Structure 1
């Protein structure tokens, strides 16, 4: 009987939501839009795990270079593949040259046929880029005729740049380690072994997920209370016709549930639109296909159940402090002061959950549920403390200008509504500050210096074996933006033609080039140098290897590797001694033998690989792409790369980029939801605004009062958010064993982002505010 009464009263609330005339429909629409924006982001969050899985599967399915059997022979089902990937500005272009060796050669994923020699099949994004004016530089590097477009199965994202080009003669390039060519009989690799993930990165991902989703939950809770004052006045009328206080609460819960259910429909629609638009968006180099974004059915069901349930609970909790009488709502009087003690319990409970790991760290396994619950309680503490802080501060604010007094009095009358609007911003900023502290403190652990000497070179070019070094270097010197080129050829020599025990390096270059490798002193063409005491020869008996008249072998063979060239070379008389220099790439000092071109002769060339290090003129636009174009002309299988003084490892950069993308989406939701809430509050006050204008209040004064009403809670919320965020960041850093460092620039940027969002929302609401400030707003039907 009781359940039936509950159902009947809530259904009456549902009817009020949809049959209450224009006001009822407008309130339901505002609630639905606010809830729908949150639901759309929650659905997007439930779809992300599947997107990551599909991207990994696509990447795995097309894997080719580096995973084929070394002894694979030519057959009817084999394919020759060469890696001809390149970079265009800051974007990687994945490229493959393919040559089928039989009718059953495996077709790469995403292709319906093999391109003929000189033809290309490209991804849709690459096709568009090559057609555009910004792609003119890349067109010079990829001159082949485009004869087809790749399918989705061969791409990991809609914005990925990929091409397959038909080739001939790749069989002659198989034996060179630098040619990046292999024979394969299929694509894809099997995932072997369990992934040993870094617990610190898992913690970072977990905290990031909680931080991103908490503002969404806060905004959904705030959205179901849109139009609360007007709803309470309707409930007072319901009391007048005989309903008791419990019935009015159940009716209000039913009305909130109706708005949330409509919000689920809106959210599903927003998600489908955003899912379709995601195919054309690229953030930080990441893109997806709409088909990737399929929410987990279980998680989607959880969202569908949790949102209406939360709407009912939030409404019932909000009405506990409101006395609805037949002649009005008592909340219009001075409310009882909010209590502080229970609000402090939430962040203290969060710290208590994190405390065991603060003392022990997370070097091994850690309790993900305790971490998530602790972070949630700390962030929920922001939403609990903010209303008390706003109420306590605004009650003490004094006199000022007319606009200030209007704003302060409005805040004193209903500080809770202002706090609800700012809660989401405060939670987002608090979480962002904690994440920023973690990123800054951990960056040194996951970003390692490469040791590359950027003052000596900014790019490296590696030529395949058999490609003459001198002509290639001459072409590189002519490339636009190149200041100088340090080029030489190098290989390995051993004390035996097979299974050599002692090996060392051998380099051939001009005297100028050799001076870039070691301190050679005086030098002329025909000289030979031996480098002694180099780090690279720490396990080699150089005195024995460098004995005059001894026969050594370039590219010796080994039992577990393809047969080498085994070119003999006799150690000559009259060798000079050179001192080692630090490597250009931050590697150990180069040792072994250094030969000038005249001393080397032509016989050694087949076993040597050309290398060139380039100094660039950074003032020349696209200097690196001009170099890459020249490299493609020299040899399509030549490899060029940009040198850098640091590199990220361990997935740290991917997690940072992913969280930044998520934060961008959350801030967009915050802005949209704040705008909806602001418009709803202005609508509630339209008669008051019209009355003030009718009595002669200037529109400028009212506009400033609206700005003050937003600015005061925002300032208080950001101060509280910074305090909680710094505390959360310190706790998490202590858990990871990192030194607690405050990135004040990051704190200011995060709070500044919150201020920027609120200012943007205020500016967007000004047109409605100006329209409502008309005397005809007093008209009543």
Structure 2
């Protein structure tokens, strides 16, 4: 067969897709919508690398390292302070700025810096501050809004960010939170860090799991209206077309629908691209301009989808005999064979087996991982039709609705399996991912040591803050049960400038209640001085060596900046020996413990201090009240919410991206299932109308439709659970993790899949009732 004959038959089929009357148009439209939804998600996937790259570039471009080298004031310098905050769980990026000359570097997204007392904000922050929900945040940011930050200065459309003008920031330069800079951006080019083997394995598995259901739905969409199409092809046999030509014509019809689907998919993608700028999912937002698919990947989608439509159609028609007088499909079909269907999942396991026990030290073979996971998930789509056929063939008697549903499933088990293939693949992949995430989560979670039973928040104050007075302000804050403050500084036997001291220890200052949080005190009065030993972080030998009454010591006021005068302190008499205990933050405070009356008079400038706050979580917005108090005390006060554990940023980012992708895939599944359900109902419109005309109750037919959906989805979810648990077990053995099953997660995954199908079925009931009307018997 030459290329010209192929092209002629494919072209003839494509014309049938658009000139086949009402039935042809409806089938083409349904195919185009189904394919278009899949294409839209594929285009979104091809745009993800660009999204990540642009967000990274913009975040790098606005970097303002406050721990860079110390530089003198000049015409091109800017003093900048980190004033980040959190509001109702959302990060607020804040900066206080003071340009020191006409050539001070301008932050990306700004035309000029605001004057002291003014601020420029991101559009999302401006909207929040103007709404009733932002009342508490408005109290925290007492600046006048004079402009907005441009898109080039933000990493997402919903990012909360501001730049506020300030003055007299230079004395607060500390090499940590406040610095003088001459440019924005990284201090030096940083080499891209590669993910460790386990995280890379997670990314590969997530990639296959999220895209596989899309491919399944595209393959199912090109087969919409297959039975009616095959009956039309029988007419072509009457006028002389051979069986091969009819198959090519059918492939051309699917090709026409898929080409329209590419157009629909592009339109859906462009609409979704605009919508993406107005939504935020799990704290992640983007600008529409970020979603630009890579040209090569977009071209690959444009070529692969039509080619897949032709291939799927040709494969589907191999088991259909199209004769001039009809289509041999209504007869009892030949039983499906099991042996070759088992080869795919077994082949997937064979590809993954060599990597079992490899552990976390070396990288996994990416091609074997992709191929193995792909074959296992494809195995779901090949096994499910056999399982559905085998089960429904043995279903017995029941109610009339049950018998109608079972008989329909026995006649067209393949169509029923195709409808739930996508949801089964998605659930199987989701279970495997959930098991892998749960199995390796402990490796990317560390214990912070923070005792959340003794305090729930910590406020770090700038050096020199009157922390004992500040603690009283926090104690008076609404919803705060207790607040204790501790200040500290290093102390040595000689000046910290030049070569520095030979022997040093630590000074901690706080009232008696605060000191009892870090040491066992027999008694305590203001003016007491204690020598605390037993700390792992402070040498007991150095502390004892320096703890001699009358000895003169130097406090570290330099911090690498060199702009504070030196402070000396004479060790008093009457020292009391005590033992340290673990503080609420998990640290041990050894060295000298001083009550406020015993602290050096000019030493407050040397102390870095923190307030440990215990809150009553039954008070609504208690955390925001604490943050507002901190902002009133000092705009640069850093408020931390305590947690007993802390996760790796990369692990958290991958999990967040997975959840965002899963939400998109579930949305696609729901919409595609609805389209598929409507297509199947349209195929049976005359049959349904006939049954109603002969007296069948509409309630009976509605229940039969529900049973026709429930039986395949139940079988599909059982198969998905088995495959998902198998894949998850293999992946856990590959990384050397303990194999365990979180049954709550497995049930939640299967429940989510069942909920999607149930929702789709309920949405299809109104069209079903309309199709039962007598008008459904009308024909052309």
What's the TM-score, normalizing by structure 2? 0.98
Give the alignment of 1:472-487 within 5 angstroms. Answer: 472-487=470-485
Number of the residue aligned with 1:413: 411
Give the alignment of 1:236-255 within 5 angstroms. Answer: 236-255=234-253
* Distance across 1 between alignment mates of 2:175 and 2:452: 26
Number of the residue aligned with 1:526: 527
Number of the residue aligned with 1:604: 603
Q: Is the 8 A contact 2:66 2:180 kept in 1?
A: no
Q: Is the 8 A contact 2:119 2:146 kept in 1?
A: yes
Q: Is the 8 A contact 1:496 1:556 kept in 2?
A: no
Number of the residue aligned with 1:630: 629
Number of the residue aligned with 2:675: 676
* Distance across 1 between alignment mates of 2:313 and 2:67: 59
* Distance across 2 between alignment mates of 1:130 and 1:557: 39
Gaps of 5+ in 2: none
Gaps of 5+ in 1: none
Number of the residue aligned with 2:727: 728
Q: Is the 8 A contact 2:357 2:735 kept in 1?
A: no
* Distance across 2 between alignment mates of 1:556 and 1:464: 13
Measured after TM superposition, the shift of residue 562 of structure 1 is 4.1
Distance 1:295-1:265 versus aligned 2 partners, 3 A rule: same
Number of the residue aligned with 1:280: 278
In the alignment of these two chains, the number of paired residues is 776
* Distance across 2 between alignment mates of 1:150 and 1:300: 32
Give the alignment of 1:50-69 within 5 angstroms. Answer: 50-66=50-66, 68-69=68-69
Number of the residue aligned with 1:3: 3
Number of the residue aligned with 1:548: 549
Query: Are residue 187 (structure 1) and residue 184 (structure 2) matched?
Result: yes
Number of the residue aligned with 2:775: 776
Measured after TM superposition, the shift of residue 494 of structure 1 is 1.3
Measured after TM superposition, the shift of residue 650 of structure 1 is 4.9
Q: Is the 8 A contact 1:65 1:83 kept in 2?
A: no
Which of these residues, 306, 309, 312, is aligned with residue 311 of structure 1?
A: 309
* Distance across 1 between alignment mates of 2:239 and 2:424: 42
Measured after TM superposition, the shift of residue 563 of structure 1 is 6.2
Q: Is the 8 A contact 1:555 1:564 kept in 2?
A: no
* Distance across 1 between alignment mates of 2:758 and 2:548: 78
Bigger shift: residues 633-642 or 372-381: 633-642
* Distance across 2 between alignment mates of 1:346 and 1:90: 45
Measured after TM superposition, the shift of residue 133 of structure 1 is 0.4
Which of these residues, 209, 216, 219, is aligned with residue 218 of structure 1?
A: 216
Number of the residue aligned with 1:346: 344
Q: Is the 8 A contact 2:117 2:144 kept in 1?
A: yes
Q: Is the 8 A contact 2:17 2:253 kept in 1?
A: yes
What's the CA shift string for 1:146-199, capped at 9, x where partnerless? 00011001000000000000000001111x356x11100000014323414211
Measured after TM superposition, the shift of residue 500 of structure 1 is 1.6
* Distance across 1 between alignment mates of 2:92 and 2:581: 35
What's the TM-score, normalizing by structure 1? 0.98
1:332 match: secondary structure: coil
Bigger shift: residues 221-230 or 647-656: 647-656
Q: Is the 8 A contact 1:493 1:503 kept in 2?
A: yes
Measured after TM superposition, the shift of residue 66 of structure 1 is 3.2
Number of the residue aligned with 1:658: 657
Number of the residue aligned with 1:146: 145
Measured after TM superposition, the shift of residue 362 of structure 1 is 4.7
* RMSD, aligned α-carbons: 1.3
What's the CA shift string for 1:223-276, capped at 9, x where partnerless? 000000000000001111111000000000000000001000000000000000
1:552 match: secondary structure: strand
Q: Is the 8 A contact 1:363 1:736 kept in 2?
A: no
Q: Is the 8 A contact 1:80 1:183 kept in 2?
A: yes
* Distance across 2 between alignment mates of 1:53 and 1:593: 50
Give the alignment of 1:163-202 within 5 angstroms. Answer: 163-174=162-173, 176=174, 180-189=177-186, 190-202=188-200
* Distance across 1 between alignment mates of 2:651 and 2:86: 22
Distance 1:741-1:80 versus aligned 2 partners, 3 A rule: same
1:147 match: secondary structure: strand
Number of the residue aligned with 1:16: 16
Q: Is the 8 A contact 1:224 1:311 kept in 2?
A: yes
* Distance across 2 between alignment mates of 1:192 and 1:542: 41
Measured after TM superposition, the shift of residue 775 of structure 1 is 2.1
Measured after TM superposition, the shift of residue 565 of structure 1 is 4.2
Distance 1:261-1:362 versus aligned 2 partners, 3 A rule: farther
Number of the residue aligned with 2:118: 119
Measured after TM superposition, the shift of residue 536 of structure 1 is 1.6
* Distance across 2 between alignment mates of 1:563 and 1:106: 24
Bigger shift: residues 631-640 or 279-288: 631-640
Distance 1:109-1:416 versus aligned 2 partners, 3 A rule: same
Number of the residue aligned with 1:704: 703
Measured after TM superposition, the shift of residue 479 of structure 1 is 1.1
Measured after TM superposition, the shift of residue 729 of structure 1 is 0.3
Give the alignment of 1:18-37 within 5 angstroms. Answer: 18-37=18-37
* Distance across 1 between alignment mates of 2:673 and 2:38: 12
* Distance across 2 between alignment mates of 1:347 and 1:538: 61
Distance 1:436-1:353 versus aligned 2 partners, 3 A rule: same
Distance 1:63-1:539 versus aligned 2 partners, 3 A rule: farther
1:291 match: secondary structure: helix
Distance 1:752-1:199 versus aligned 2 partners, 3 A rule: same
Distance 1:650-1:87 versus aligned 2 partners, 3 A rule: closer
